[in-house]
Amino acid sequence: MKLYLNERPRTLIIVSNNYALIIRHPFPVYKNSNHHHMHLHHHHHGSTSSQGVDSKGRLSSNKVIVEFVRKDLLKLSNYKDITPNKSKLNRQLLGFLGLLNVNNNIYLGFITAQAKIASPMIGEDIQRITGVDFYCLNNDEYDYLINKLVVNEEETQNSNLQSPQYDPEKVTSGYPAASVRKLLELGAFYYSKDFDITSNIQERGFRDINDPTFTLMADSPYFKRFMWNSYMISEFIEFRNRLSPPDRLQFDLTGFLTTITRGFAQTVNTSITPNEEALLTIISKQSCMKNGPLFGDWGVDDKGDVSNFVETEIIIYTKKICFSYVLVRGNVPTFWELENPNKKSLLSSKKNKKISTPRSFEASQHAFTRHFDKLVNQFSEVHIVNLLSSDGYKGELNDNYKKHIDYFNNNTNKNNSSNANGKMSLNYKLPYTDLPINLATIRKYGYTPSNPRNISNILVDSIIDYGALFYEKSKKNFTGKQLGVFRINSFDSLKKANFVSKIISQEVIELAFRDTGIAVDPDLFIKHAKLWYENDEYLSKITSSYFSNSSKLQASSGSSTKSSVKSHLSKKYLGSVVNPKPSEMAMLKLLGHLQDQVDLKLHNPIHDYVTRELNKMAKQFSSYEDISIYASTFNVNGLCYEGDISEWLFPKKDNTTSDYDVVFIGFQEVTELTAGKMVTPDSTNRNFWEKKIKNTLEEHNPNHNKYASLWCGQIGSIAIFLFINENKIENVSNVEGSFKKTGFGGMGANKGAVAVSFNYSNSEICLVASHLAAGLSNTDERHQNYKSIAKGIKFSKNRRIRDHDAVIWLGDFNYRVGLTNEQIKPLIEKKEFSKIFEYDQLNKQMANGESFPFFDEMEITFAPTYKFDNGTKSYDTSEKQRIPAWTDRILSLSRNKIIKQLSYDSTPDLIFSDHRPVHATFTMSANVIDESIKKNLSHELYENYRKSIGDINESLITSNNLTLFDADFDDKVLPAPSSDVMKWWLESGKPAKISIPELNPENFPDGNVNLINPKLPHNPFLKTDEPEFISKKSLLNLLNDK
């Protein structure tokens, strides 16, 4: 990576991997001038909204103009190379941190020195940041420092002078960004060129060592909290996301987008068996999202972020497998503060301390709910492990915490709190374990390979239920995924929380490897304990030192009484009379929390123009391809069937003459759950059905094509299978799965959903299989299951089910029919299914807009598919005499109605289960992009723009008139505000309410107005001779006749 400077007009150019990032400010300041350099007409399009006058009377602006171009389009020889000299100064540009706005000066930040400290996997390294440099974008006042960072080798060779030694203190004395540089160089910040350091393995997945693709995760709501340069780089993330996919890939490869985190990371070599070496890694990331103090004796903010929040991931990597497990910790997520009535005294006892709650219980509950909504959205399940003492001021906080947990769990169905996205809270409960350990317990057991069973046994049930990520590299298959997380808290969420995290982590490792039949080498647990100990030492140091009065003060470690007392005195002194230290101010600058730090806005002239024009020309490079989809749901009652299933997959009634492109099948009760399985339930039945379905597809499809088993997933007894015709597999990308448990209030896997998301060409498809709550009268519980799944199923980039272009949702929904056996069975024999449908619970729910709003279901023309005596065609003859019902359903949803359903039926002759399979066929109009045509059009637009404006790249650097690039292309006249009769989003002024002439009273001067005929059947599919409208007089006559 290299950095170039054009002095006037002032422009900085970052070059890496044959691409360049051009950055300039509209109002740079020059030290030899008495005024700013006028690049822009001030009265242009109301641009004053982004500009002002600083304290020195200079024009300032929070707008920065940025362009991403190929290096060969620039004449770099015309510009000054200001890249630090590696050989002389041992510093080089390693990564771009973003833009820092301090005192109206905007600085480009770079990582310039590093030290490798961890390798969670082969080909993935984590670097500690040891050097950082800043370059001012809009002011040349500090350019003399550049000369100290860049050694002119020609001058050095032609003189007797020695090369200057790099002294960061001298170079940056008086420099406004110096404190931030010093903070970043302390050794607590990390980054990786190979993956997004804010993420964990389960979310980012596994990449091929030969694949250089960088997957950005830090823009998701959860992982953003660990991105410590969020203020500096968030606009560049938006800039990057607006680029075309090819440009975005190149942008990621350049190092122009570097995310950093704060915490601890380390890798050690160990063995899981005497013959199998392993890498054992711990990664702890501190959150920086909370408004207010990030560390110390504080609670939550309004958005649900807490002080001392840390995510820790343990990774075991070998040539064969990869294991990962995540735990989180943080202070009690309510509004609380530690109050000391004797503030004038530096020496205060525990008796003087008490907890104050500055906000009401209701306000605190709202923030509490937001906090756990964020965690549940990320991890699906959260188990609270509370380590607070019940004595003194900690006991006060403990009691308050329990009140909030109890209130939440007792009112979960009534909870109307909004989460961070403004949506309704999830329907879930919070399991809770009280574990009040003390420091004596930690000293007793210590960080040894021996786990205290009296502690681990208390949590073992949830440990087993949540599982862990276990990946078999040879099969490229996830044996298991982590389905929940432990949230651990002590008073400060440091020493005690770390110790219990170690216990849980070791128990998970022992159970996981036991279930896979691997006898773990004791060395693994020795190294594991040591890593957790070092994690505790380092996190305690960088957390408590944030409060300490001396930069040399070490954190209390339990091994030094003097250190402990000194730290305590420093915290009390600071809390009583000391102003924020320079290190605290530096952290506020880095995070953009100072009052005078405004957010910067990036303007990208060329790409904005090209993207807008390409959208207008979309028909020239995009087309639509009709693909066929077969979807089916089957509750197999835990059985494996050896017979023929061809009639199910290729119904003769459908007269299938062409192959399916996509086959999606969801199973319920694919196996019976057994207790004690750590990683995943038994997959024997799933494997049987996967093989059987694949063989049947290949043997009976009309053209005898091969099918690829693209993805299969299982949670509990719910499984889905996704098969793709091998002729179409090249069109499929970005496949990922998601799981959501709803059984037993979200605690068990007997009910829930499995979903898979993928792209077919340019269309995003989501397929969901679910099993909802059983029982004739449990309609409300099924509705809650639906809401929990709709919100709980999520994919990368925080995408939900509804964020896709097309959705097929099927399963054993368990909705029943509100008739008795005596009423329904004669109707089944007569095949009067439309009359039965009027009493169908799901029909009523959908008609009322409750469950599955906006989803479509084709008319049902087959008999109820539940419940039969196994092996017969007779409905339930047991004592329960269950009423026949359409429990097994298939629904669809799509944007612009790109899905068209062709058939909807059951297979009544497949009788081994107590259900019958239900199947449907669809055609979907998939959007296909011809990237070569699009690329040519993009190039043509670029060239046309260059011809009309000039060479845009050179002009962007050298022109004094930025009106060429600053035009607000999206400046459009806004429509009139909405009213009761008109809505701004309706095209051509169409009214929001329509008038039906047959019901217009003005057309009936005699008062005998028309009304909607009440005798019309409720089922819209039923044919009838009844007229749609009936006159008021005729209706009264009908009533009188009765």
Least confident of 438-442, 655-659, 900-904: 655-659
Mode of pairing for the β-strands spanning 806-812 and 763-771:
parallel
Residue 402 domain-assigned (yes or no): no
The secondary structure of 400-462, three-state, reads HHHHHHHHHHHCHHHCCCECCCCCECCCCCCCEEECCCCHHHHHHHCCCCCCCHHHHHHHHHH
Distance CA 44, CA 62 (A): 16
Preceding amide of 867 cis, omega within 30: yes
Query: Residues 697, 725: contact at Cβ < 8 Å?
Result: no
Same-domain check for residues 609 and 686: no
Same-domain check for residues 777 and 725: yes
Residue 530 pLDDT greater than 70, yes or no: yes
Q: Of 435, 450, 544, 558, nearest to 500 (Cα)?
A: 435
Highest-confidence segment of 97-101, 344-348, 996-1000: 97-101
Same-domain check for residues 643 and 764: yes
Q: What is the pLDDT of residue 940?
A: 87
- Burial (CB count within 10 angstroms: exposed 0-12, middle 13-18, buried 19+), residue 344: exposed
Query: Residues 215, 207: contact at Cβ < 8 Å?
Result: yes
| pLDDT averaged over every residue in the chain | 83
Average pLDDT over residues 993-1022: 80
1015 pLDDT band (50/70/90 cuts)? confident
Higher local confidence (pLDDT), 981 or 1039: 1039
663 membership: H or E segment, kind and range: strand 662-668
Residue 380 domain-assigned (yes or no): no
Higher local confidence (pLDDT), 554 or 946: 946
Residue 773 domain-assigned (yes or no): yes
956 pLDDT band (50/70/90 cuts)? low
Distance CA 454, CA 466 (A): 20
Q: Last residue of a domain, which of 231, 258, 285?
A: 258
Same-domain check for residues 903 and 949: no
Residue 366 pLDDT greater than 60, yes or no: yes
Average pLDDT over residues 42-62: 47
Average pLDDT over residues 750-776: 93
676 pLDDT band (50/70/90 cuts)? very low
Task: Please report, to the nearest 10 degrees, the dihedral formed by the alpha carbons of residues 198, 204, 207, 211 taken in order.
Answer: -60
Residue 579 pLDDT greater than 60, yes or no: no
At 837, the amino acid letter reads: F
Q: Last residue of a domain, which of 238, 258, 278?
A: 258
Query: Residues 428, 369: contact at Cβ < 8 Å?
Result: no
Q: From residue 312, give the alpha-carbon distance in Å to each of 197, 258, 263, 289, 371.
A: 12, 21, 9, 17, 18
For residue 734, the enclosing domain spans 626-923
Same-domain check for residues 862 and 945: no
Measured from the Cβ of residue 672, the count of other Cβ atoms closer than 10 Å reads: 13
Query: Residues 965, 948: contact at Cβ < 8 Å?
Result: no
Same-domain check for residues 936 and 919: no
| % of residues, the chain, pLDDT over 90 | 50
Same-domain check for residues 818 and 910: yes
Residue 545 domain-assigned (yes or no): no
Q: What is the pLDDT of residue 488?
A: 98
Residue 769 domain-assigned (yes or no): yes
Same-domain check for residues 797 and 821: yes
Give 256-287 pLDDT, tens digit per residue: 999 999 999 999 999 998 889 999 999 999 99
Same-domain check for residues 609 and 757: no
Distance CA 370, CA 289 (A): 14
Instruction: Give the chain's length.
Output: 1042
Same-domain check for residues 738 and 630: yes
Q: From residue 506, give the alpha-carbon distance in Å to each of 28, 71, 310, 542.
A: 56, 51, 18, 25
Q: Is the dihedral of CA 166, 169, 175, 179 positive or negative?
A: positive
Q: From residue 794, give the alpha-carbon distance in Å to each of 203, 469, 740, 788.
A: 11, 17, 9, 11
Number of domains, the chain: 4
Residue 634 domain-assigned (yes or no): yes
Same-domain check for residues 770 and 896: yes
Distance CA 256, CA 253 (A): 8
Give 846-902 pLDDT, tens digit per residue: 998 899 999 999 999 999 999 999 999 999 999 989 999 999 999 999 999 999 999
Q: Which string of DSSP letters, residue by residue, matches 903-954? A: EEEE-TT--SSSB--EEEEEEEEEEEE-HHHHHHHHHHHHHHHHHHH--HHH
Average pLDDT over residues 58-83: 83
Residue 820 domain-assigned (yes or no): yes
Distance CA 30, CA 859 (A): 74
Q: From residue 37, give the alpha-carbon distance in Å to each of 25, 29, 34, 58, 144.
A: 10, 6, 9, 10, 19
Query: Residues 294, 453: contact at Cβ < 8 Å?
Result: no
Same-domain check for residues 615 and 669: no
